[in-house]
Amino acid sequence: MVETFEDIRASVRTLCAGFPGSYWQALDAERGYPDRFVRALTEAGFLAALIPAEHGGSGLGLTAAAAILEEVQAAGCNGGACHAQMYTMGTLLRHGSPAQKARFLPAVARGDLRLQAFGVTEPTSGTDTSRIRTTAVRHGDGWLVNGQKVWTSRVEHSDLMLLLARTTPREDVEQPHDGLSVFFDRHSRGAGGGLQTRPIRAMINHHSWEVFFDDLKVPGRR
């Protein structure tokens, strides 16, 4: 039998009923971020659906996560304000070290840290990520990042950004996607210290930014 997650769906519908069209229209008018909605989803545990139970989440699968977001959208709320936390999580779960998982996941599950941003797309590379030009080079114990991302959504509303950078030049690798690395930049919801942002005014209220890296220091801890 196919699991349809009716209990979860009903809970999401109840939560979303507290965020009617007028809430979203007011945010659209001022280009505001739905902090109260994101906090409510977090406190109810929905944004931690994919975090394993041992790290403070509910340890659900992708179908349950999809059901949560489907109900959010069906209720007229905007999952786009926070859905990235669910799909960036997969990278941390699959490729993060045990120490990184222990450090970040419980805090993300509690809502103390937001993992809402990912920097992949660049002005000269969209679908073909092998062409990214942002580089990270070894610097002492950590890394120095230089380059630019574009359409980095929610970067000003997130504590952590999943950042794709080239660590070995494309001409020195066998396969185009070899030599790319993923970093977790902890930037505390704003610019500074080698990271500058510039908002992109899109027709939808999507909170996207251009992000510029000028010797951004990323710690090398794994």
Ligand X SMILES: Cc1cc2nc3c(=O)[nH]c(=O)nc-3n(C[C@H](O)[C@H](O)[C@H](O)COP(=O)(O)OP(=O)(O)OC[C@H]3O[C@@H](n4cnc5c(N)ncnc54)[C@H](O)[C@@H]3O)c2cc1C
Binding site for ligand X (CB under 6 A): 118-121, 126-127, 151-153, 202, 206, 208
* Least distance to ligand X, CB of residue 150, Å: 7
Please state the closest distance from residue 121 (CB atom) to ligand X, in A.
3
8 versus 47: smaller Cβ distance to ligand X: 47
- Shorter beta-carbon distance to ligand X: residue 78 or 152: 152
Which residue, 18 or 123, is less far from ligand X as judged by CB? 123
User: Nearer to ligand X by C-beta: 77 or 120?
Assistant: 120
Q: Shortest Cβ distance from residue 207 to ligand X (Å)?
A: 9
Q: Is 42 or 153 the residue whose CB approaches ligand X more closely?
A: 153
Minimum Å distance from CB 166 to ligand X? Answer: 15
* Smallest gap from residue 220 Cβ to ligand X (A): 23
Which string of b and e fits 70-84 if b means at least 16 CB within 10 Å?
Answer: ebbeebebbbbbbbb
CB-based closest residue to ligand X: 126
Residue 186 one-letter amino acid: R
